[in-house]
């Protein structure tokens, strides 16, 4: 069965990559392409953005775009995603959410919406990153105390949130494996005379520049050795392929909140 997919933020970098991936798929079809009301791309053929006109007109009308759709894929910003969540619940459309930077209240609303429609939400849709999360859990449990944990991430100059959602998720996985609370043990920047490092600290360092797609390294620094688990993305296609894999996963789900660990069968 062919699934009808709606892309939010269709003119953006991820939106175009998603449309390219759908165009190469046999079991997915672009149903609608959404953009903000002030977008200069409104009314244009979405396929023109990827060099392959497809007859799908870019629109800001959520209700029109979602009518008759199966799943919406959203890599936008929290405020936009929340509007999409509400509209998807109204239309019974499932969601794949790759947006990051949600508040606790917004996450609670998404969880409530998952009681009505199937949702896959993950800060990083890359298959490789999600395998790395499993490796981090294993490493943290095996190494235990005595190893200082530092997380370094780098992204392009246009990214608006820091640390990245992926870096935070990595910190959460390590903290859970070590029995720590990331909310109290995370350190997001160091400057001046900081004193000695507290053993329970999980440190974060952020780099922004150029067109870096996404690099993440988690360092377990012990005495006499250091273990590093690194993932580097060289193309947004890896996120698009993971997101569409999540869309296929939702085909058999009526409701519920899932992440990429569920999609990949890693639980």
Any idea which residues carry the catalytic annotation?
Answer: 155, 159
Tell me how far apart the alpha carbons of residues 265 and 257 are, in angstroms, rounded to a whole number: 15
CB of 242 closer than 8 Å to CB of 266: no
Q: Can you read off the two tokens belonging to residue 77?
A: 């910003």
Q: How far apart are the first and last CA of the chain?
A: 27
The residues near 1 (Cβ < 8 Å, ≥ 6 apart) are 27, 251
Total count of residues recorded for the chain:
267
Which has the closest alpha carbon to 76: 87, 68, 90? 87
Which residue(s) pair with 221 in the sheet? 148, 226
Radius of gyration (C-alpha) of the chain in whole angstroms: 20
Q: Which residues contact 227 (CB under 8 A, 6 or more apart)?
A: 139, 143, 147, 219, 220
Do the beta carbons of residue 164 and residue 100 sit within 8 Å? yes
Number of helical (H) and strand (E) elements in the chain, helices listed first:
9, 12
- Report d(CA 118, CA 256) in Å as an integer: 5
CA distance 153 to 184: 20
């Amino acid at each position: 069965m062919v699934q009808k997919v709606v892309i939010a933020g269709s003119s953006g970098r991820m939106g175009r990559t998603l449309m390219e991936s759908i165009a190469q798929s046999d079991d997915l079809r672009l149903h609608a392409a959404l953009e903000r009301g002030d977008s200069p791309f409104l009314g244009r053929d979405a396929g023109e953005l990827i060099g392959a006109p497809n007859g799908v007109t870019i629109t800001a009308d959520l209700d029109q775009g979602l009518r008759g759709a199966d799943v919406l894929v959203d890599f936008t910003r929290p405020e936009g995603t929340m509007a999409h969540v509400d509209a998807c619940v109204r239309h019974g459309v499932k969601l794949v959410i790759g947006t990051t930077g949600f508040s606790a209240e917004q996450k609670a609303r998404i969880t409530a919406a998952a009681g009505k429609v199937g949702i896959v939400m993950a800060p990083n849709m890359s298959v490789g990153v999600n395998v790395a999360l499993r490796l981090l859990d294993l490493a943290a449990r095996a190494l235990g105390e005595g190893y200082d944990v530092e997380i370094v991430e780098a992204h392009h100059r246009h990214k608006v949130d820091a640390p990245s959602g992926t870096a935070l998720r990595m910190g959460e996985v390590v903290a859970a494996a070590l029995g720590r609370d990331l909310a109290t043990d995370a350190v997001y920047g160091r400057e001046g005379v900081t004193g000695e490092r507290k053993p329970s600290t999980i440190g974060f360092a952020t780099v922004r520049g150029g067109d870096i797609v996404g690099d993440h390294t988690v360092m377990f620094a012990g005495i006499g050795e250091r273990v590093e688990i690194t993932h580097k993305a060289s193309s947004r296609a890896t996120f698009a392929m993971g997101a569409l894999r999540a869309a296929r996963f939702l085909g058999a789900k009526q409701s519920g909140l899932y992440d990429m660990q569920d999609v990949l069968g890693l639980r």
